[in-house]
Amino acid sequence: MAEEIIQYRTSGVCCGIMQVKVNNGIVIDADFYGGCNGNLQGIKNLIKGMEISQVIQKLSGIRCGDKNTSCPDQLAKCLLAYKNKEVETLTIKS
């Protein structure tokens, strides 16, 4: 299966756009535009190589301060939208 890139516009957090590269149900890489760079780099390193379902399970529902969501929660929403085919992707054929 070819790699796919998901570009997701977030809602309610400092990070405006997430770009996640997946291959065969595994997160290959992620980039975050805006937000807390150190925290997002940590998340990026932790999720590389994880199954999409695991990332969703671990990060769903995390809140940031008094917000109803967070960057990790938005990442889970991004991957859930991908699994449900509710977001467009760019396919990279190798």
Q: How far apart are CA 63 and CA 82, in angstroms?
A: 21
Position 49 scores a pLDDT of 98
Q: How far apart are CA 75 and CA 61, in angstroms?
A: 11
Domain hosting residue 46, numbered range: 3-85
Q: How far apart are CA 33 and CA 74, in angstroms?
A: 13
Find, among 50, 53, 74, 48, the residue nearest to 63 by Cα. Answer: 74
Q: Tens digit of pLDDT per residue, the chain (94 long)?
A: 689 999 999 999 999 999 999 999 999 999 999 999 999 999 999 999 999 999 999 999 999 999 999 999 999 999 999 999 998 888 877 6
CATH code at 13? 3.90.1010.10
Give backbone dihedrals phi and psi of 41, rounded to 5 degrees, phi first. Answer: -65, -40
The answer to whether the CB of 75 falls within 8 A of the CB of 47 is yes
Residue 60 has which token pair? 């769903």
pTM here is 0.93
Residue 92 lies in a domain: no
Residue 8 lies in a domain: yes
The domain total for the chain is 1
